[in-house]
Chains A and B, each alone.
Chain A
Amino acid sequence: MVKRQSNFCGRTRREFIWQAGAGFGGAALASMLSGDGFFDPANAAENTYKNPLAAKPPHFAPKAKSVIFLFMYGGPSHIDTFDRKPAMKGMDGKTVDVKTFGRGGHRSRGRIVEPRWNFKQYGECGKYVSDLFPNVAEHVDDIAFLHSMTADSPIHGSAMLMMNSGRILSGSPALGSWVTYGLGSENENLPGFVVMLDPSGGPISGAKNWSSGYMPATYQGTVFRSEGAPILNLDPPGDLPEGVQRQLIDSIQNANRRHLVSRESNDDLASRIASYELAYKMQTTAPEAVDLSTEDERTLEMYGVNQDRTRDFGTRCLMARRLVQRGVRFIQLYSGGAHNDANWDAHGDLEVNHNKHAGNTDQPIAALLKDLKQRGMLDETLVVWGGEFGRQPTAEYAKGSGRDHNSYGFTMWMAGGGIKGGVSHGTTDELGSQAVENPLEVKHLHATILQQLGLDPNHLAYFYSGLDQKLVGVESVEPIHDIIA
């Protein structure tokens, strides 16, 4: 008969401003307004304002509190990194029958490009890792490799959307949006979903990759920069002396409190007052979160912050660790940006491309794993590594070592956050051309991430367009149980 106010396909308008049922109404406010007629915004409003990003209880006890997604944009070659193919030894240049589908379309034959790097065994598990990742290799006992990943598209645009939002169609919320929608942020003064881009530029489709789609923009990824003010519009203009921003906010709040009198029943007015306090706090919290000056020299050294090659990715990995420490839920780091060889998209010279990108990231990633572990944070932090697809075993062109895209089989890995270490799940065929054993889809990866965060992938739903939309799709999906500790 009477329903809650619910304009948005059954979602409530205030769901995004207030936690359901917990908003404060006229009565609560009236009592706050007692006494001298006003309340202290620094206390009262904050205490009652419900930040849309306030932490929410998970569906069940989580293994991981945060996710760091190391996105190797462009598509790293699995057979040159973590998926060893000894049968390809000596086959370089041979033409074989193999079905491939990439930028160049469907093909059924191709010239083998033998993996260009040597593989060595590491750790107790004896995992083979190529010389591209000698430092990450030291941590194989903490890593679960997913060798049988597949995706619906071998084309960057749609494949990026697939890996980031579960669908090849543009318009759905990103994984990070789902996580913040499901769990909020542990730290209300920081965004729940942070994206850090490669200095060479954003990935193709730009902001579409961290869009919140049909959800409110509250859940979209916030781009953090590693230089200057980390967040857009965070800093007041340079000519304002310190303290002026607070003064301006105080003046605004005074006026807003006067305006509130006789309008106590409009919750939104009080919420907006509170949002200014939150913005103010963010101005100190965010820069502090990414300020590396308090890190000791050893740490900076470990992440490679002092070396040209690794400075950028190392800095961002270290920032990611600091953000996790401050309760940020989902952090996505892009290795590679822009186009062509500025990312892992090795169509031309495979060796030049992968030496560059692996060289820029190997030490920082290893440092991140080591640092998280020694601080006891790896148990609660899920680290995910991979690109939107892998690469083909054969050459793209008549000459050269460049490989085209491969979504029929590729490797991703996960570490920490309740994931078993030293295991490899699924396989590709002898050439790495396609997944054969235990093939996995992107939704399985997503389901596993949600599961470790304490969210039931088949129940984390958002009503839109007449449907309970889910990150993993309408049909029930199991997480990858074999790699869950």
Chain B
Amino acid sequence: MKFYSRVFLAICLAGSASLACSTAIAQSASTKVDFIKQVQPILAKRCYACHGPDEAESGLRFDQQASVFGEAESGEHPVVAGDIDASELVARIKSVDEFERMPPEGDPVTPEEIEVLSNWIEQGAEWDIHWAFKPMQAAEPPEVDDPAWGQNPIDAFIYDGLQRVGLQPNPPADRRELIRRAFYDLTGLPPTAEQVDRFVNDSDPLSFEKLINEQLESHHYGERWGRHWLDLVRYAETNSYERDGPKPNAWKYRDYVIRSFNDDKPYDQFLQEQLAGDELDEVTPETLTATGYYRLGIWDDEPADPLLARYDELDDIIMTTGQAMLGLTINCARCHDHKIDPIPQSDYYSLLAMMADVTSWGTRGDQRSNNQIDVTSDELRQKYQANDEQRRKLEADMREIEQTGIAKMSAPDQRATEGPKRERERVLKKKLKDNLDDEMWEQYQAVQKELAEVVQQGKELPPRETVMGLAKTIAQPKQTFVLFRGNPHSPADPVEPRFPTIFETEAPTSFPEMEGSAGRRRVLAEWMTSSDNRLTARVIANRVWQFHFGRGIVRSSNNFGLLGTPPTHPELLDWLAQRLIEDGWKLKSLHRLIMTSRAYQMSSAGQQKGLSQDPNNETFWRFDPRRLSAEEVRDSLLAINGSLNRKAYGPSIYPKLSREVLAGQSRPGSGWGNSSEQDRNRRSVYIHVKRSLLTPLLTAFDFPDPDLTCEDRFDTLQPGQALSLLNSEFIHEQAKRVAALIGVTDKDDLEPNEIVTRCIAAVLGREATSDEIADGKQLIEDLVNRRNLSRQRAAELYCLTVLNWNEFLFVD
């Protein structure tokens, strides 16, 4: 049987129309039918419309095992394992009687589909659940015949897969390619020419491991990998809508993420802090900052329907949590049972109940109390308190004296002192002295002076520190209800906080007592990060793989459900996930393991057999080349000309935006600050993310819209990118800096071929070829002689061309 399936795979790979293969159903009776891949899709497509999650005509649901094998209202059994004749399903789909035949509308079930269903019943009608909803399977790395591919367990899985389809893995990438790949992968920055040379000439067999370790220790690692997380949690620093108002201290959450990666914080802890940083045993400013997770979404300060807006806000959190942490589109069950995955609507609201103590971002009148947490140190807090008390006492003393004087004043004056503060002060200033005796007046002045000093001292205290997060929660949330069609004005059945049923975990019976919150999120966080959670580890292991290799083992990394893409290497995925847990959820260990594999170090070159059999590289016969990401493009431009400011962390920065870009705003320039040149040269991850004003250079290179979670960025190649790298003020500034860096001055003392050689060395970290020198020299000379440009300008323009080269923009 295994033999057949291997042949089948090979045929599939050979065919270019691989889509047809994935739904291929024709096969011999002896081949084992796969319920998930073959039967379920037919049932979903042909039967669910009337007998499924939405409607269960005649009480029959083809998405539920009990219903399929049970007795229908008609008395018949839809499916009887091993008995085609007794299975009403087969009789109905084969029937020629138009009143009998199912489905009653649309095309009849095809003969191939009938064959699959019949074979499945004949073979025992094994009902299976979707792979991702099963517990992780214990997987041993397979034995492989090439010892070099047997050392790293990852390689054993990959090599075994290739062997099965008769493909050979690519040879190793050359060292120049490898260092560039690893640098961009771990830090998002190119290696310098010296780093390349050193690595290329380093004969130490452990040199690559050394390089990996060095880069993992660089703070640039967190800047690159933290950004992956920020995409997933739709990080932004404003609220969108008309005012697109700021989210104060949002950048501290961004720094929290970057720091967590740099510190190699265990992933389970990372999730716990974000989900329940206010409910942990040890609550620190850091864990409170982590709860900024709940504050990243869009927020309408003027909603037409406030109750709906509240549920939209929670839905945004459920969608993000479900997809980013669990790889589940639970959000699809907001208005009805999930159409495809076994997630009933009640699961959605039970999960919502787990987070029911999360308050809204704020109200139009108060946009801070719910989301800004005072994390000032106790010592400083006490100083503030002492200062406050002193101030209040002195104010009371003053008032007492004032009242003595006021008592002697005329009635209208007395009345005036009871009115607005301004009035009172006017009267006091004018008449208090005359109504006090000298001693009291002196005393009054002394107190006044002392108060001024105390106020001044208060002003001189270091500022209180606030972070963005769950500043207020609801200690006792109201009962949660399933909402009919998702309508908050139509509550239906009550639900209790519990986990989605597909996980088959017991509903929590109690929640820890917390001060000010419901204790539910902590339970949620613990469940989510328990080692037997079926999805959490798989989902993050898959993401780590995705960001190293360009695609996940499950390509739809936010959707492990039935509509997601199945894993190309399911055993490898489960193995990696379990290994991650064994290593204490430490991502850096996983990076090391993956990057030291031969699979990771393969060349990206084409290979005839691979290209023809598996053009999409499903089997990882090569390492997929890729374009630089938006941040990598910008950061590399700054890095190679030496102007990159490598400072880590801190408030966000504002690159210069041109007038025409700002003109798109209703108040041009509103909400966009000025940064010093030094700050403008910082890495892109520190650029202020304003929802209605994204930086055009980044957007051109597929920086994602920050309103919704992004599992994987697009890799478009569009003319707008070319225009921004040819004509923007930014690119010309960078080209000019490259020219200056390589010694171009207005004295014209650098020969054209020298300009070319130095420029290529600076930008690409290698020697120029003779063709390149000839071309570059010709261009520069032509610009000078025929176009009458200065040598300096011509050199700058030459540098600009090199910044546009594919070699610079792509990683092999």
Contact = CB atoms under 8 A, between A and B. Distances in A.
A247 B782 contact: yes
B615 A204 contact: no
A392 to B, nearest CB: 15
Interface string A276-304: 10110010000000000000000000000
Given A3-B22, A170-B691, A256-B806, A9 B556 contact: yes
B19 A233 contact: no
A244 B790 CA distance: 13
Nearest to B812: A263
Contacts of A439: none
B666 A338 contact: yes
A206 interface: yes
Contacts of B728: 233
Interface stretch (A85-93, A108-116, A267-275, A429-437): A267-275
A9 B716 contact: no
A201 B661 CA distance: 11
Contacts of B123: none
B716 A218 contact: yes
A169 B309 CA distance: 9
B705 A157 contact: no
A363 B801 CA distance: 48
A214 B566 CA distance: 22
B241 A205 contact: yes
Given A211-B705, A213-B708, A265-B611, A206 B801 contact: no
Nearest to A53: B718
B726 interface: yes
Interface stretch (A76-84, A147-155, A312-320, A354-362): A147-155
Contacts of B24: 1
Interface stretch (B126-134, B296-304, B459-467): B296-304
A43 interface: no
Contacts of B8: 1
B727 A272 contact: no
A228 B776 CA distance: 32
Interface residues of B, number: 119
A138 interface: no
B530 interface: no
B800 interface: yes
B398 interface: no
A231 B721 CA distance: 13
Given A247-B779, A255-B805, A269-B806, A3 B715 contact: no
Interface residues of A, number: 101
A216 B775 CA distance: 36
Contact of B718 (A2, A154, A155, A275): A275
Interface stretch (A60-68, A120-128, A234-242, A440-448): A234-242
A96 interface: no
Given A10-B556, A197-B663, A465 B732 contact: no
Nearest to A152: B304
B192 to A, nearest CB: 21
Contacts of A6: 555-556, 565
Contacts of A237: 727, 729, 732
Contacts of A231: 723
A265 B621 CA distance: 13
A234 B727 contact: yes
Nearest to A274: B717
Interface in B709-762: 709-712, 714-724, 726-729, 732
A249 B801 CA distance: 8
A258 B302 contact: no
Contacts of B561: 466
B699 interface: yes
A465 to B, nearest CB: 6
Interface string A207-245: 110011110111010110100100111111101110111
A259 B12 contact: no
Contact of B806 (A5, A154, A222, A260): A260
A232 B663 CA distance: 12
Given A10-B563, A157-B242, A465-B323, A339 B667 contact: yes
A69 B257 CA distance: 43
Contacts of B564: 9-10
A5 B242 contact: no
B705 A4 contact: no
A205 B614 CA distance: 46
B31 to A, nearest CB: 12
Max chain A Cβ within 10 angstroms of own Cβ: one of B564, B708, B716: B716
A255 B807 contact: yes
Max chain B Cβ within 10 angstroms of own Cβ: one of A3, A21, A216, A279: A3
Contact of A208 (B691, B719, B724): B691
B660 A225 contact: yes
B771 interface: yes
A222 to B, nearest CB: 8
Given A201-B667, A232-B658, A465-B708, A264 B606 contact: yes
A248 interface: yes
Nearest to A225: B660
A249 B726 contact: yes
A231 B658 CA distance: 12
A57 interface: no
Contacts of A463: 563
Nearest to A338: B666
A203 interface: yes
Contacts of B246: none
Contacts of A170: 240-241, 298, 691, 707
Contacts of B557: 7
B170 to A, nearest CB: 11
B726 A248 contact: yes
Contacts of B711: 7-9
A157 B300 CA distance: 8
Contacts of A16: 714, 716
B29 interface: no
Max chain A Cβ within 10 angstroms of own Cβ: one of B8, B717, B732: B717
A243 B12 contact: no
B243 interface: yes
A266 interface: yes
Contacts of A402: none
Contact of A259 (B22, B712, B807): B807
A171 interface: yes
A434 B646 CA distance: 59
A157 to B, nearest CB: 3
A325 interface: no
Given A3-B22, A235-B727, A338-B666, A465 B331 contact: yes
B805 A259 contact: yes
Contacts of A266: 604, 606, 625, 810
B244 interface: yes
Nearest to A203: B666
B328 to A, nearest CB: 8
A197 B605 contact: no
A464 B782 CA distance: 51
Contacts of B604: 266
B551 to A, nearest CB: 5
B681 to A, nearest CB: 20
B605 A263 contact: yes
A17 interface: yes
B91 interface: no
A48 interface: no
A233 B660 CA distance: 10
Contacts of B319: 465
Nearest to B341: A466
A282 B719 contact: yes
A135 interface: no
9 contacts: A6-B556, A26-B611, A201-B666, A207-B694, A217-B720, A218-B716, A223-B663, A264-B606, A268-B625
Given A7-B555, A338-B666, 8 more contacts: A158-B304, A169-B312, A208-B691, A223-B660, A244-B787, A252-B801, A258-B772, A466-B323
* Ranked 9 nearest A-B pairs via Cβ: A466-B329, A171-B707, A265-B606, A157-B242, A153-B304, A279-B722, A279-B719, A157-B241, A170-B240
